[in-house]
Structure 1
Amino acid sequence: MYSSKITGVGHYVPENIVTNDDLSKLMDTNDAWIQERTGIKERRHIKKGDGNSTSVMGVKASKIAIERAGLTPDDIDMIVFATLSPDMYFPGGGVQVQEMLGMRTIPALDVRNQCSGFVYSVSVADQFIKTGMYKHVLVIGAENHSGGLDMTTRGRGVSVIFGDGAGAVVISRNESNSAGILSTHLHSEGKHKDELALQGPATDHWVPEIIAENDQENIPYYPHMNGQFVFKHAVVRFSQVIMEGLEANGLATTDIDMFIPHQANLRISQYIQKKMGVPDEKVFNNIQKYGNTTAASIPIALSEAWEAGKIKDNDLVVLAAFGSGFTWGSVVMRW
């Protein structure tokens, strides 16, 4: 069995900054209300005409990650693309990245696990490398939320939270075995699937049916979230899956050098940090700037933390995510 490690990181966010004050012009909300509940000050949204899409942003982040890994697109053996907001219902974003980067006819796999999509994708890439099937796997998390949000008072509970962006990593065969991914841990609990969901358009509730209903008070093609219910489950599952990863490797919370949680809500991150007793300097949060970018949040934060020199060789890095499904997971790695 081989082992794998992250050899390159990169991220991209649109230039268009949308502040809480900007949103207050569209809906009944204000900066204090949003910050108190989420910790978010601003987020990035794709702007019409800027040339961005979920896949385009994924390509921009991927180019940086591939270059930092000392590779070219021809060296990549597989693409794993995590998103809940693909450019098209089908085909998925992975094949678009393959085409835009001019890659060989390598496999392109799309992962639909929403906020835990990147963690799931890292686990998939890790398994392909461990078995010896591939040497370099490009893992992408990218989201265009702004194109599908209800930007009115009716939708403010969800719409103030989400932003657009992309992050990418190259996961490579670890030739030296001196560091790398130690373990990944994945879970799901489908009985709570309706607590955080986008129920249409879908094959049982297609676009013509939605238009015919013309129900402006209950439009099913906007996301729904039971915020308090999600929060209560998130803080429990985050803690469990982090400890599962540490215990599997004979480690403790005091061994963590950098903890990067999915950027769902700053209050969740702070609660988990306090519960685990991890000091501020060992936790990286950037939700204040970008909001919740779902599958993109961990790779964006990982890339920024590395750029800022907060992740160094041999550091123990823990990633953890929880989201719609419910699905959750963790990654424990030695950088």
Structure 2
Amino acid sequence: MYTSRITGIGHYVPDNIVTNKDLEQFMETSDEWIQERTGIKERRWIDPKSDDMPSTMGVKAARQAIENAGLTPDDIDFIVFATLSPDYYFPGPGVQVQDLLGVKEIGALDVRNQCSGFVYGLSVADQFVKTGMYKNVLVIGSEYHSGGLEKSTRGRGVTVIFGDGAGAVVLSRSEDNQKGILSTHLHSEGKHAKELALIGPATNRWVDQIMEENDPDDTSYYPYMNGNFVFKHAVTRFGQVIHEALQTNGFQTSDIDMLIPHQANLRISQFIQKQMGLADENVYNNIMRYGNTTAASIPIALSEAYQEGKIKDGNLVCLAAFGSGFTWASALIRW
């Protein structure tokens, strides 16, 4: 079997910056309240007048990643696109990326694992490359949250957290078995699905039914999150899946050069960092600038950390995520 390595990386975020002070204009909140609970100072929200969508943002990040890999779009053999906010209900944005990149009729797969989506997508791509089926796989995480948030005091518990953006990597075949993705670990616990979910509209509750009910108190078409419940599960599952990756490969927490957790809440990341005894320079967080960008959060953070020289050749890098589903996942990489 071959080894798969990340050979290219890139990210894109909208130009429009929305600060906590900006949110005070249309909901009862404060910069202090938001930072204390989440660590977020600002986020990027798409300007509705722009052409940014999950697919187009994904392509912008993808072009960076492809160029960074020293490849052209025609070198890509397969696309994996992770998102909870596709341009359309169907089809998924993977096929849009194929079209926008102007490449041959390669396969495109959409992954719907929300906050864990990018790591799930990376794991899928890893299998395709390792078995020799594909040589270069493009993996994208892209989200457009801001258009579907309840921008009011009632919805502030969710709205203040989420931002828009995209990140991408190129995963390529390698015969160097000392570097690349060492292992990936995927889990789910569906009994908690409704604790972090968007219930409707959906196939069991279509738009016409919602309109017929005409209930002004109906919030089913906005994201719902049981914050404390999710937090308690997140800090447990994060630790478990990181240790699983380390133990599988014979490492200890002290061997981690860079941990990139899903940017759900700075308090979760800080809890995990303290629990594992990692120094500040061994954990990368950017939630204070972008908020939670769900499937895009890990590739955006990974791209920034790499660009800032915080990930170097030979480093042991761990990616870990937890979110809606519940799903959680990790990937251990020798850079």
Is the contact made by 2:3 and 2:130 (CA closer than 8 Å) also made in structure 1?
Answer: yes
Shift of 1:219: 2.2
Tell me the CA shift for residue 43 of structure 1. 0.1
Corresponding residue for residue 202 of structure 1: 202
Q: Which residue of 2 aligns with 1:136?
A: 136
Q: d(CA) in 1 for partners of 2:221 and 2:323?
A: 19
Which whole-Å deviations, capped at 9, do the CAs of 1:20-50 have from their partners, x for residues lacking one? 0101111110100000000000000000111
Alignment of 1:158-197 (within 5 A): 158-197=158-197
Letter of the 1:223 partner, please give it.
P
Question: Partner residue of 1:95?
Answer: 95
CA distance in 2, matches of 1:19, 1:210: 33
Quote the sequence identity (%): 72
Paired position in structure 2 for 1:323: 323
- The CA distance in 2 between the partners of 1:3 and 1:88, in whole Å, is 35
2:301 partner amino acid: A
> Could you tell me which residue of structure 2 aligns to residue 154 of structure 1?
154
Partner of 1:220: 220
TM-score (structure 2 length as normaliser):
0.99
Q: Does the Cα contact within 8 Å between 2:54 and 2:166 map onto a contact in 1?
A: yes
SS at match of 1:209: helix
Question: How many angstroms does 1:9 deviate by?
Answer: 0.4
Moved more, 55-64 or 205-214: 205-214
Q: How many residues align?
A: 335
The letter of the residue matching 1:290 is: Y
Secondary structure at the aligned position of 2:328 is classed as strand
Q: Which amino acid aligns with 1:315?
A: N
**Secondary structure of the residue that 2:117 maps to in structure 1?**
helix
The alpha carbon displacement at 1:175 in A equals 2.9
Distance 1:119 1:155 in 2: 28
Rounded Cα–Cα distance in structure 2 between residues aligned with 1:178 and 1:251: 14
Instruction: Tell me if structure 1 keeps the 8 A contact 2:3–2:176.
Output: no
1-side partners of 2:278 and 2:286: how far apart?
17
Per-residue CA distance 1:93-136 (angstroms, 9 max, x = gap): 00000000001111000000000000000000000011110000
What's the RMSD between the two structures over aligned residues? 0.6
In structure 2, give the amino acid aligned to 1:204: N
| Structure 1: unaligned runs, 5 residues or longer | none
Structure 1 residues 277-304: Cα deviation after superposition (integer angstroms, max 9, x where no partner): 0100110000000000000000000000
SS at match of 1:154: coil
Question: Partners in 1 of 2:213 and 2:260 — Cα distance?
Answer: 43
Give the partner amino acid of 1:179: K
In structure 2, distance between residues paired with 1:332 and 1:273? 16
Q: Distance in 2 between matches of 1:41 and 1:307?
A: 22
Contact 2:58–2:140 under 8 Å retained in 1: yes
Tell me the distance in 2 between the aligned counterparts of 1:214 and 1:276. Answer: 50
How far apart, in 1, do the equivalents of 2:217 and 2:35 lie? 27
- Following the alignment from structure 1 to structure 2, what is the Cα–Cα distance between the partners of residues 163 and 109? 24
Q: Which residue of 1 aligns with 2:300?
A: 300
CA distance in 2, matches of 1:45, 1:20: 12
After TM superposition, which residue ranges in structure 1, 4 or more long, deviate above 3 angstroms? none
User: What is the Cα deviation at residue 178 of structure 1?
Assistant: 3.4
Q: Distance in 2 between matches of 1:29 and 1:123?
A: 39
